[in-house]
Amino acid sequence: MSINPHAIVHSLAKIGANVEIGAFCVIESDVVIGDGCRLESNVTIKRGAVIGKENHLCTGTVLGGRPQHTAVKGDCGGICIGDNNIFRENVTVHRAIKESEVTVIGDNNYLMVNAHVAHDCKVGNDNVLVNNVMLGGHVQVGNRVNLGGAVGVHQFCRIGSLAMVGGLARVIQDVPPFVTVDGLTGRICGLNQIGLRRSGRTIEEIRILKDVYRLIFRSGLTWKEILKKLEDDYSIGPGAEMTQFLAATKRGIVSERHSVGRTPLRLLDAENNDKNDGDHENEIQTIRVNAG
């Protein structure tokens, strides 16, 4: 264990083996830090925080702050951090509202500069939260999710596993597993095929997920009909996670980004534009352009 003499570590904090604590860090009481963690300078870990092994906390990280919620008057819950996570500069993670609850971050996550995880969030494993990502209270994030820079996720929304959300997107409904969300429109623009391949999904599994995607977004069925067909045809196999996710949604899901259709553009015929007979049917050419 290595603790800088300028750090403040409460006597009731439990510090594991081979932990490095840098200058001007503050570790409050009722904190548990697992073996092999590294805390750079000016890291603050507040009481009620339980941190696993081999986590790297960069300068300015604050774990265990009180919930930003006006209803919180007395004591509140805690946070539970898994193993092998990286928290870059100025990341903040807040405690749960109720004393019996915890904000959870799993294993092998990478939270970049200024990312914020609010009270009662549940973040899985192997996720990347890019700079300035903001997770509202009670947000749930699956596994292997990539949230681009400055993505804002509304409270109580869910992000399914292997979803990829483009930078600056505003997420106000659930994002199903395996899809890509366009940062400009905040809408779904297809499957996250690169992420699926990197995760080891086979060509056949991806084909099935494409069928599920078409059923959900392009079949023209009602929501109840979609859920019924998903339960009948995709209760097991690659589509089962999508089926279970949609069946559990309470906020609805993000809609698909429809490309702008082909629009007729009418142009005057330059050779006949001096006619004054009032009948311009022969003066007009119609061409098709892709407005998307």
Residue 37: other Cβ atoms inside 10 A: 25
| CB 106 within 8 Å of CB 93 | no
95 and 209 together in one domain: no
Q: Give the chain's length.
A: 292
- Please indicate, yes or no, whether residues 112 and 30 belong to a single structural domain of this protein: yes
Residue 134 lies in a domain: yes
Q: Are residues 134 and 74 in the same domain?
A: yes
Interhelix angle 203-218/240-247, rounded to 10 degrees, is 30
User: Measured in whole angstroms, how far is the alpha carbon of residue 168 from the centre of its chain?
Assistant: 12
Say whether both 111 and 45 belong to one domain. yes
Is 280 designated active site?
no
Provide the number of structural domains found in the chain. 3
Residue 31 resides in a domain: yes
- The pLDDT assigned to 113 comes to 98
The answer as to whether 180 is a domain residue is no
H or E segment and range at residue 32: strand 32-33
Q: Tell me, yes or no, whether 18 and 77 share the same domain.
A: yes
Which one, of 93, 233, 228, 234, lies nearest residue 177 by Cα? 234
Range of the domain at 241: 198-247
Domain of 102, CATH number, reads 2.160.10.10
In a domain, 40, yes or no: yes
| Co-location of 98 and 223 in the same domain | no
Q: Helix or strand or coil: residue 284?
A: strand
How far is Cα 160 from Cα 180, in angstroms, rounded to an integer?
11
Residue 237 lies in a domain: yes
Q: Judge whether 156 lies within some domain.
A: no
Is residue 252 domain-resident?
no
The catalytic residue among 94, 119, 138, 174 is 119
Parallel, antiparallel, or unpaired: how do β-strands 284-290 and 262-268 relate? Answer: antiparallel
Confidence (pLDDT) at 73: 86
The Cα angle at residue 5 between residues 41 and 37, in degrees rounded to 5: 50
Q: Model's pTM, two decimal places? A: 0.88
Neighbours of 11 (CB within 10 A): 5
* Beta-bridge mates of residue 272: none
**Catalytic residue list contains 78:** no
Instruction: Examine the domain organization and report whether 266 and 242 are in the same domain.
Output: no
> 116 and 202, same structural domain?
no
Same domain, 45 and 115: yes
Catalytic residue among 137, 142, 183, 195: 137
Tens digits of residue pLDDT in 119-162 = 999 999 999 999 999 999 999 999 999 999 999 999 999 999 99
Catalytic residue check, 137: yes
Question: Quick one: pLDDT at residue 258?
Answer: 78
pLDDT along the chain (292 residues), means of 10: 97 98 98 98 97 98 96 93 98 97 98 98 98 98 98 98 98 98 97 97 97 96 96 96 97 84 42 46 36 34
- Name residue, tokens 């681009």: 148
Active-site option among 48, 94, 107, 120: 120
Residues 8 and 128 in one domain: yes
Task: Kindly state whether residues 204 and 130 are assigned to the same domain.
Answer: no
- Return the pLDDT at 262: 41
The pLDDT of residue 257 is: 94
**Contact indicator for 59, 44 with CB cutoff of 8 Å:** no
Residue 162 lies in a domain: no
Are 96 and 128 members of one domain? yes
